[in-house]
Amino acid sequence: MTFIWNELRDLRDAVDLGTPPRDGQPVTLSIDGVDTTVPARSSVLLAATIAGATVPKLCATDTLECFGSCRVCLVEIDGRRGYPASCTTPVESGMVVRTTSEQLVKLRRGVVELYLSDYPDSDIDGGWSQFHTTLAQVGLEEGLPADHPYRGGDTHADVPVDESNPYFLFDPAKCIVCSRCVRACEEIQGTFALTIAGRGFSSQVSPSQGESFLASECVSCGACVQACPSDALIEKSLFPEGYHRADPR
């Protein structure tokens, strides 16, 4: 008999499988030429991670159901058009997957450049979040070049920091709108306090109906902070001198 909770128990501290582990019949597929066997219902991202491939990811994490919004875990699959997101693509027997190629490198870099075009320069150097790891994986650890055409555009740098919660703060300037916090609030905590308000470029994490974190339905379980890959939701205790944004250029 298969138990649902076995999946939760397969979570490992040292590795983020990208999508939740699954129970299921073994399925063998090829990842970068290596035959890899994972349970059915697993994602290609999970299989690639188990195969040892380093697929950059931002919105995907193994404690949350896949979402497919960040578009950096793209791969190539024989017989499939385009570049499917590995997190939302279930494995199939005999599938042939490539996790890297010239085009994939370029595409991922192109996507991450878009993230960087709306992330504060002052928070790149010395950062150690998952976002910073992803930057290094796509070769953008230095941030966006000084003369990049994306510079000078609209950003969220002026949106105020929400420091209402005594324990953590939300800095919209660093939010990459991956919805991990929203999903953690729904799937893990079950409180449904967070949502994404607005559309398009204006999309922003919002507690309840545009309230502050403290005033909202948020119960401060910390699941959103834990889920945030980009230091946008972060413990205040990691800023012993207080949280001060760099002066805008």
Partner 1 sequence: MPIPVKPDRSVTTTCAYCGVGCGFKAETVEGRVVRMIPWKEGKANHGHSCIKGRFAFDYYQHPDRITTPMIRKNVDDPWQEVDWDTAFAYAAGEFKRIQAEHGTTSVGAVSSSRCTNEEIFLMQKFARVALRNNNIDNCSRICHSPTQFGLSATLGAGAASQHFDSILQSDVVLVVGANPTEGHPVFGSMMKRAVRRGARLLVIDPRRTETVDSPHCRAEVHLALRPGTNVLVLNSVAHVIVRERLYNEAFVRARCDGDDFELWMDLVGDDRYSPDVVGPEAGLDPDDIRRLARIYAGGPNSTIYYGLGVTEHSQGSTGVMCLGNLTMATGMVGREGVGVNPLRGQGNVQGGSCLGSWPHMLTGYRFVTDDVVRGSFEDEWKITLDSEPGLRLPNMFDAAVTGSFKAIYIQGEDPIQSDPNRHHVEAALRSMECVVVQDLYLSETAKLAHVFFPGSSSLEKDGTFTNAERRVSMVRKVIEPLGGLADWQITVGFMNAMGYECHYDHPSEVLDEIARTSPAYSGMSFDKIEALGSVQWPCNTDAPEGTEVLHTVTFPRGKGSFMLTGYLPTSERATDQYPLLLTTGRILSQYNVGTQTRRTANVAWHDDDVLEISADDAAGRGLSSGDRATITSRYGSTELTVSISERVNPGVVYTTFHFAHTMVNNLTSDLDDWATNCPEYKVTAVDVVRASIAQPVAGS
Partner 2 sequence: MTTNVYVPCDAIALALGADDVATAIADQAAARALDVRVIRNGSRGLFWLDPLVEVDIDGVRHGYGPVEADDVASLFEAGFLGGAAHPLSLGPVESIPEFAAQTRLTFARHGVVDPRSLDDFVTHGGFAGLRRALTLSPDELLVEIETSGLRGRGGAAFPTGIKWRTVANAVATPKYIVANGDEGDSGTFADRMIFEGDPFCLLEGMAIAARAVGATHGVIYIRSEYPHSIATTQAAIDAARSAGWLGAAIAGSELSFDVEIRVGAGAYICGEETSMLESIEGKRGTVRFKPPLPALEGLYGKPTVVNNILTFASVPWIVANGGAAYAAYGVGRSKGTLGVQLAGNVARGALIEVPFGITVRELVERFGAGTRSGRPVRAVQVGGPLGAYFDNAGLDVALDYEAISDAGGLLGHGGMVVFDESVDMATQARFAMEFCAAESCGKCTPCRVGSTRGVELIDRISAGTRREANHEQLLELCDVLEHGSLCALGGLTPYPVRSALRLFPGDFGLVTDVAQ
In angstroms, the CA 42 to CA 39 distance is 6
In angstroms, the CA 204 to CA 94 distance is 40
Give the shortest CB-63-to-partner 1 separation in angstroms. 5
**Does position 177 bind partner 2 by CB under 8 A?**
yes
Give the shortest CB-110-to-partner 2 separation in angstroms. 4
User: In this structure, are strands 96-98 and 76-77 parallel, antiparallel, or unpaired?
Assistant: antiparallel
Q: Which is nearer to partner 1, 112 or 194 (CB)?
A: 194
Question: By the criterion CB under 8 A, which residues form the site for partner 1?
Answer: 1, 3-5, 8-9, 11-13, 63, 122-123, 125-128, 165-168, 171, 187-192, 214, 219-223, 226, 231, 234-235, 237-240, 243-246
**Does position 79 bind partner 2 by CB under 8 A?**
no
Q: Which is nearer to partner 1, 32 or 211 (CB)?
A: 211
CA-based Rg of the chain, rounded to a whole angstrom?
19
Stretch near partner 2 under the rule CB under 8 A, chosen from 158-166, 176-184, 214-222, 227-235: 176-184
Residue 33 binds which entry of partner 1, partner 2, none, CB below 5-8 Å type-dependent: none
In angstroms, the CA 116 to CA 119 distance is 5
**Does position 66 bind partner 2 by CB under 8 A?**
yes
In angstroms, the CA 74 to CA 81 distance is 12
Member of 54, 101, 142, 150 binding partner 2 (CB under 8 A): 150
Q: How many residues interact with partner 2 (rule CB under 8 A)?
A: 40
In angstroms, the CA 23 to CA 13 distance is 19
Residue 240 binds which entry of partner 2, partner 1, none, CB below 5-8 Å type-dependent: partner 1
Q: Which of residues 195-234 bind partner 2 (CB under 8 A)?
A: 195-196, 198-203
In angstroms, the CA 160 to CA 151 distance is 21
Q: Which is nearer to partner 2, 114 or 246 (CB)?
A: 114
Give the shortest CB-85-to-partner 1 separation in angstroms. 23
Q: Which is nearer to partner 2, 144 or 218 (CB)?
A: 144
Are the CB atoms for 70 and 175 separated by under 8 Å? no
Give the shortest CB-245-to-partner 2 separation in angstroms. 20
Q: Which residues bind partner 2 (CB under 8 A)?
A: 66-71, 74, 82-83, 85, 88-90, 103, 106-107, 110-111, 114-115, 117-118, 147-150, 152-154, 176-177, 179, 195-196, 198-203
